Amino acid sequence: MSVRDLIPWGRANGNQVPSGLRDDNRDPFLSLHREVNRLFDDVFRGFGSGLPTFGSGSAFSAGWPRIEISDKEIKVTAEVPGLEETDIEVLLNDGVLTLKGEKRSESEDKGRNFSERYYGRFERRIPLGVEVKDDQVDARFKNGVLTVTLPKSEKAQSQVKRIAIKS
């Protein structure tokens, strides 16, 4: 591809289409390269940026874990299938909730000369943004779902401000 191909058509040569886009000069490897890039873009588009966001989503999107905020509490729900409560650690430090976990799985079949090992680790830090009652934080684990409830302090509850909606 030459530098001329980077110039949008219609500037110097009338309505001429860049040579990289003409069918008669198309390189099959360049075409394959573009298709593979498009495929990867389509597949990985849903994974998000990894930044914490509030809302729902799949376990691997930017919306994981799911966070619900009400006037009185913050509720964080994380789906962690295949893990036990002993595999998960929940920490609260300086207004940041941290969820950590690790899964280890090993299987071996000596009859088939087969062994498989899987190790997976995750850590998610969620800035709360409000003051919570540290002594009343509750974490529960049931059927692969971790639910952490953080009650807001009276000060945080009193700072709620109603905003008028204009049309």
Q: Which CATH class is domain 62-105+119-158?
A: mainly beta
Q: How far apart are CA 107 and CA 121, in angstroms?
A: 18
Residue 62: both structure tokens together: 């930017």
User: pLDDT tens digits, residue range 25-69?
Assistant: 567 888 888 888 888 777 766 555 444 444 433 334 445 677 787
pTM attached to this predicted model: 0.55
- pLDDT value of position 18: 52
Three-state SS string across the chain, please? CCHHHHCCCCCCCCCCCCHHHCHHHCCHHHHHHHHHHHHHHHHHHHHCCCCCCCCCCCCCCCCCCEEEECCCEEEEEEECCCCCHHHEEEEEECCEEEEEEEEEEEEEECCCCEEEEEEEEEEEEEECCCCECHHHCEEEEECCEEEEEEEECHHHHHCCCCCCCCC
Q: Where are the domains of the chain?
A: 62-105+119-158
Backbone angles phi, psi at 155, to 5 degrees: -60, -45
- How sure is the predictor about 97, in pLDDT bands with cuts at 50, 70 and 90? very high
